[in-house]
Amino acid sequence: KIASEEAKRIGGEIIPLDLSAQTKERWGLVRRFPIGVISAISPFNFPLNLVAHKVAPAIASGNTVVLRPASQVAITSILLGEIINETDYPQGGVNIVPSGYEAADILLTDERVKMVTFTGSPAIGWELKKRAHKKKVTLELGGNAAVVIEPDANLDFALPRMIMGSFSYSGQICISIQRVFLHEKIYDQFMADFIQATKKLKMGNPLEEETDIGPMITLDAAKQTEEWVEEAVENGARTVLGGKRDG
């Protein structure tokens, strides 16, 4: 709905060219046209939402899209493709192409592809931008989200939002909290409250409603997180809760 609504406003602009006497009675007309084939690469953590972020604007602006979904969640994109095929949208307008990295390289280098849109890690994103050469590229990459809590902050308000921002989706989202800066006057109290609140979180099957924290996407992802914790401790950090992988 959002993309279809925005399609009403992408026709172009009319700009007055009145910066000089010679052009004060002239107007500039900007018109936008479909760019062509768009290559879209989506991640695993929001397998339908982030795919829609790419497919819907491409359709709304009159383009063809070739989507390469994350291999762990490809079935979600395939089901979306089947739904689109049941509509009157032209066949071939949306193409779902689950593939490995080698096959995905075609989506970056083929001259018929005019634009690349990618959501994922910074390391991969910037490398894809290099390989895309002169194509238009949009990147939505991982962040390093920080929280600053001042001494006059409402801690009852901040605490549940910190818990949600830290542990939602097992921390596997680009806006997951990475750093927290606490004023020394509230450090001890907030840390005690944060630890107690964290202990109450239930780990388990994400299909069960009472589960707060489910498993990470792969065993390798869990091992990497454990390695990051160990690296932090080696460089002076200390663990106040957990610190080891379960499973």
198 neighbors 163 (Cβ within 8 angstroms): yes
Known catalytic residue at 140: yes
Choosing from 174, 208, 209, 230, which is the catalytic residue?
174
Question: Within 10 A of 123 (CB to CB), how many other CB atoms are there?
Answer: 10
Distance (Å, whole) CA 91 – CA 116: 21
The active-site residue out of 82, 140, 184, 210 is 140
Q: How far is CA 130 from CA 39, 133, 139, 155, 245, in A?
A: 15, 6, 12, 45, 35
Helices (H) and strands (E) in the chain, counts: 9, 9
**124 token code pair:** 């991969």
Sign of CA dihedral 131, 133, 135, 138: positive
Are 247 and 215 in contact by the 8 Å Cβ rule? The answer is yes
- Paired tokens of 89: 């949208």
Cα distance between residue 19 and residue 17, in whole Å: 6
Residues sharing a CB contact under 8 Å with residue 117, sequence separation 6 or more, in sequence order: 38, 39, 40, 41, 54, 137, 138, 139
Core vs surface per residue 161-189: b (16+ CB within 10 A) or e: ebbebbbeebebebebbeebebeeebeee
Is-catalytic flag, 174? Answer: yes
Residues noted as catalytic: 140, 174
